């Protein structure tokens, strides 16, 4: 995943690694930005991993119970994941604006 800033829309597009750096809104060329993964990303991964380990260790007899046990971990993980994405976009936006100012 990567981020690209479009100066004409003042917006950050979240792109997959293989996508060309273009603005999602106007399709113009956008500036790629490197943003470090936020701490929320690691919390999200950790929470989901912990959930998987707990389900594995408890070895519940039914699939429904296993899923029921895992669900809160997934919800929690997704919550942090979404939070991290929002934070990263915010950082990318700032970095993009700063660069736009530098380049005039
Ligand atoms: Zn644009």
Task: For residue 46, report the distance from its CA to the centre of ligand 1, in Å.
Answer: 35
CA angle centred on 61, ends 59 and 64, rounded to 5°: 100
3-state secondary structure of 103: helix
Task: For residue 23, report the distance from its CA to the centre of ligand 1, in Å.
Answer: 4
Give the model's pLDDT for residue 104. Answer: 63
Give the model's pLDDT for residue 64. Answer: 95
Spans of the chain below 50 pLDDT: none
Task: For residue 5, report the distance from its CA to the centre of ligand 1, in Å.
Answer: 8
Give the model's pLDDT for residue 79. Answer: 97
Task: For residue 13, report the distance from its CA to the centre of ligand 1, in Å.
Answer: 8
Task: For residue 40, report the distance from its CA to the centre of ligand 1, in Å.
Answer: 27
pTM: 0.79
The number of helix segments (H) and strand segments (E) in the chain equals 2, 3
């Amino acid at each position: 995943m990567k981020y690209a800033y479009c100066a004409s829309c003042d917006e950050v597009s979240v792109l997959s690694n293989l996508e060309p750096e273009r603005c999602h809104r106007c399709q113009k060329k956008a500036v790629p930005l490197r943003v470090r993964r936020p701490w929320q990303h690691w919390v999200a991964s950790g929470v989901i991993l912990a959930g998987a380990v707990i389900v594995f260790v408890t070895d519940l007899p039914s699939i429904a119970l296993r899923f029921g046990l895992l669900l809160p971990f997934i919800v929690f993980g997704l919550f942090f994941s979404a939070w991290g994405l929002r934070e990263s976009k915010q950082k990318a936006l700032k970095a993009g604006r700063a660069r736009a100012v530098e380049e005039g």
